Structures are given as structure tokens and as C-alpha cells.
């Protein structure tokens, strides 16, 4: 699956389940681990888990490399590793505390793709 197709699938999987405050961070050249980080919020642990599970299952169905999913036990912060794209789905208070957008900013503006 091509990178842009996977990105589109991930964003659709998040918005299909009403994920909020979706931000894309292009981290190419800043790390060798991934090219794109997508951060989104869910309103509760159940919502966070549902969004992450949807991203993971839709990626697998489409034949994408779905490496792992971590954090679903508690549902405050679930990470979905799709190789070139890593997705973080977090409850708002956890997202505010860790502030990944600022951590990975490096002086660039985070590109907001959609927000609810």
C-alpha cells in the first residue's frame, strides 16, 4: 500500500469514529523510525480504544503493514504502529500532559488536517 493511500485510510478510520483534534506531524528527516505521526483525541477510554482498533483493523484489511498496537488495556493512550505512519490516540488530559505536538515540533508548525 502506498504511503498516501495509508495516510488517507488512517485519517478516514479516525474520523469515521469521531476522533477529535487530528494533527499530522511530518517527521521525515527528524527520525528514522517513521515518516508521519498522527495524533488524535478520543473522549473516553472506550472511545480511544475504539478509534485505535478501527485504525489497526482497517489497515490490516487493506493489506498494510500493521506492526503493533499498544496501550489498549487502559485506553488513555493507544499507539498504532503502521511502519511509516505511527498513530497516537489519546484522552485529552493525557494528550495535554505529554504534548507530543510540541515535543516533535522542532520549530515547524504542526499541520492540522482536521479538527472537531
Other beta carbons within 10 angstroms of residue 31's beta carbon come to 11
pLDDT greater at residue 111 or residue 53: 53
Residue 89 sits in a domain of what CATH number? 3.30.460.10
Q: Containing domain of residue 86, as a range? A: 3-106
106 pLDDT band, cuts 50/70/90, is low
Which pTM was predicted? 0.87
Residue 116 covered by a domain: no
Residue 68 covered by a domain: yes
CA 62 – CA 97 distance, rounded (Å): 33
Total domains in the fold of the chain: 1
Residue 69 covered by a domain: yes
Give the mean pLDDT of 73-77. Answer: 92
Compute the radius of gyration of the chain from its Cα atoms.
13
Residue 43 makes CB contacts below 8 A (sequence gap 6+) with 20, 91, 92
Residue 114 covered by a domain: no
7 pLDDT band, cuts 50/70/90, is very high
> For strand 36-41 and strand 85-90, is the pairing parallel, antiparallel, or unpaired?
parallel
Give the mean pLDDT of 52-75. Answer: 94
Residue 71 makes CB contacts below 8 A (sequence gap 6+) with 52, 77, 78, 79
pLDDT greater at residue 41 or residue 73: 41
| pLDDT for the residue 115 | 42
Range with the poorest average pLDDT among 6-15, 23-32, 42-51, 97-106: 97-106
Give the mean pLDDT of 97-113. Answer: 65
Residue 112 covered by a domain: no
Amino acid at each position: 500500500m502506498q504511503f498516501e493511500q495509508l495516510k488517507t485510510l488512517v485519517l478516514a478510520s479516525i474520523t469515521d469514529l469521531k476522533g477529535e483534534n487530528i494533527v499530522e506531524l511530518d517527521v521525515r528527516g527528524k527520525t528514522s523510525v517513521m515518516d508521519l505521526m498522527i495524533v488524535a483525541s478520543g473522549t473516553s477510554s472506550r472511545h480511544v480504544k475504539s478509534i485505535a482498533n478501527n485504525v489497526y483493523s482497517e489497515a490490516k484489511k487493506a493489506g498494510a503493514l500493521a506492526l503493533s498496537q499498544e496501550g489498549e488495556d487502559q485506553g488513555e493512550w493507544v499507539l498504532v504502529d503502521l511502519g511509516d505512519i505511527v498513530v497516537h490516540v489519546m484522552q485529552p488530559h493525557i494528550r495535554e500532559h505529554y504534548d507530543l505536538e510540541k515535543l516533535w515540533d522542532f520549530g515547524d508548525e504542526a499541520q492540522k488536517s482536521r479538527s472537531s
